[in-house]
Structure 1
Amino acid sequence: MPHPQSKIHRMSELVEPIGTVTFSDVPNEAFLAIGMRNYWDGYFAGRAAPLGTAPAEVVHAVFYNFAEGEVARHIPWVWGKTTPQEAIAVRERGSTDAMRRRIGELADAPNLTRLADLTTRAGLSAPTEGRALYAGLRALAVPEEPLARLWHSATLLREHRGDGHNAVLLAHGISGTESHVLLALTMGMRAEKFGRIHHLPKKQLAAVIDGLRARGLVNADGGFTDVGRETRERIESLTDDLAAPAYDVLTPDELDELIAGLEPIAAALRAAED
């Protein structure tokens, strides 16, 4: 029997703060220490490293939601300063260190190894077809240390869901930049204020919003239409459906145990970020 979609979605909420600790100050400082010029150099070096020295065009396609030209400002430049192998190691060490600092005594909790085991079983069991970034991550060695293993497996699950999400966006004709507009509106924020796209030239962003408006997804005031809101909800629901197979390897009791065990860790990470 498949797990309820509500639990699949809850897992996405719990692995998100674990996976995104990678993009915090401690890993960033570690990348700056090996010669990266800025935050985004480290971001692209670390996240793209499982793809090897793929050209900017490939990274742009796999990541999906960056504006044209943004990836090329960093790839392949970063591979003149580091290697994918070094970037993977720096990312793992920095992310594990950041987690340990942020969750405190939870890093040494008696059930941490068990949580890492369950998350790893799920993270290594998902299908790879059509999921290039997840497949690249799954080809990497799994860390032995429990906290590093928990971070690694949560990242696997996050990127597996992300690859599926990109497929759903593509099927609905939603570009990566458009998806950020829809996400901003879901968060109750004007698209022009959203961090991932606010830096775009005003004319470029206005053209993206106008395109969504012409398709009936955004209204004259720049907010959701009913159709836009329904489309966003359908995309999220289908994304959860595509993420579900990763958890088939776990029994209902194991999934409940994993959710309960990850909740305080995710809460501590969110509190530290706030």
Structure 2
Amino acid sequence: MARTARRMHDLLEPICLVTYLADEVGEEYAAVGHRNYWSGYFASRAAPLGRVPAEVVHAAFYNFGPGEAARHIPSAWEKIPAEESLAARERGSVASLRRILGDLAGAEGVHRAADLTTKAATSAPTDGRVMYAGLRALPIPADPLTRLWHSATVLREHRGDGHVAALVTHRVGGTEAHVISAIAMGVHPPESFGRIHHLPQERLAAVMAGLRDRGLVEDGRFTDAGRALQQSIEALTDELAEAPYEALTPDELDELVTELEPISAVLAAAGSR
């Protein structure tokens, strides 16, 4: 099943990525009053958790630098109701999917993919899955394309919760996780990676020093031990992402892959933008 979880991640990720890459999402955030993309991001993604303090959002998201959540939470909710931010996220994401997919957005395969993805997304235990549980509590959209995006996002948060557990198990912090991801993607120096390059230089230097002291990184690249750690984290993440897909029969899994492949291919070709 771990192989299934990885395959499904590869197919569903382009659907989810429009939320973070497509212009429509930022435009919808601005339309409801957010001053920038990140204000809308934090306000909408954290909305299912309720009006929790920034420390809780930081813990649940895990991989942002100290103070980044606090720049937006709770101030974004005080200005704009969390429900409006959540709705803006959905509108922008689905609008971008319709634009990129064109006629494929209304195809019967989208309807069937939405049904099967929703079955998987609503079937796993929520124990220890904070972000997943929050999204599971939201209403399931009726529109097929919206439902497909929603369920893919629910599954992404389920996987993300498991990934955080894998990182904690291997004593890898949020910023360290970005460094490891950057090296795995071939980014050099890893400190230039887009998710962390803006952090204070002293913070990045301390993170790199810690990874060197553990024998994981040398000259901005993996040692054998570092590569083994990265592979172990990914393997455990895949293993922990299995549960939703156990609700589908082998035939349903095959059907879901068949229906998702053309959707995912079009989105990947467009860079989910």
TM range (shorter): over 0.9
CA deviation map 1:123-145 (0-9, x unaligned): 00111111101100000000000
> Displacement, 1:162?
0.2
Q: Which runs of 5+ in 2 are unaligned?
A: none
Give the structure 2 partner of residue 71 of structure 1.
69
Partner of residue 125, structure 2: 127
Percent identity over the alignment is 60
Distance 2:103 2:227 in 1: 41
What letter corresponds to residue 46 of structure 1 in structure 2? S
Tell me which of 75, 87, 90 is aligned to 1:89.
87
Residue 210 of structure 1 corresponds to: 209
| Aligned counterparts of 1:25 and 1:54: Cα–Cα separation in 2 | 28
Residue 16 of structure 1: aligned partner: 13
Matched AA of 2:50? G
- Corresponding residue number in structure 2 for 1:246: 244
Runs of 4 or more above 2 Å deviation: none
- What is the distance in 2 between the residues matched to 1:137 and 1:67? 23
Q: Is the 8 A contact 2:32 2:84 kept in 1?
A: no
Corresponding residue for residue 36 of structure 2: 38
Amino acid at match of 2:96: A
For the residues of structure 2 that align with 1:158 and 1:259, how far apart are their CA atoms? 16
Q: How far apart are residue 7 of structure 1 and its match?
A: 2.0
- Residues 81-124 of structure 1, C-alpha deviations (whole Å, 9 max, x = no match): 21122122111111111111111111011221111000000000
Note if contact 1:34-1:81 (Cα within 8 Å) is conserved in structure 2.
no
> In the alignment, which residue of structure 2 is the partner of 1:263?
261
Amino acid at match of 2:208: I
* Structure ranking higher on relative contact order (CA contacts 8 Å, 6+ apart): 2
Q: Do 1:11 and 1:259's aligned partners in 2 also have CA atoms closer than 8 Å? A: yes
Which letter maps to 1:236?
A: E
Residue 196 of structure 2: aligned partner: 197
Distance in 2, Cα, partners of 1:8 & 1:171: 20
Separation in structure 1 between the aligned mates of residue 175 and residue 16 of structure 2, nearest angstrom? 22
* TM-score normalised by the chain length of structure 1: 0.96
* Aligned 1:155-234 pairs, distance under 5 A: 155-190=153-188, 191-219=190-218, 221-234=219-232
| Count of aligned residue pairs for this structure pair | 270
**Corresponding letter in the other structure for 2:108:** P
Aligned CA-pair RMSD:
1.0
* Alpha-carbon distance in structure 1 between the residues aligned to 2:78 and 2:31: 15
> Secondary structure of 2:247's match?
coil
Shift of 1:29: 0.6
| 1:171-214 Cα distance to aligned partner (Å, 9 max, x none) | 11000000000000000002122100011122210110110110
Corresponding residue of 1:142: 140
Query: Structure 2: which amino acid aligns with 1:265?
Result: I
Per-residue displacement from partner, 1:29-86 (whole Å, max 9, x unpaired)?
Answer: 1011111011100111111111111110000000000000011111111012211221
Whether the aligned pair in 1 keeps the contact of 2:44 and 2:85 (CA below 8 Å) is yes
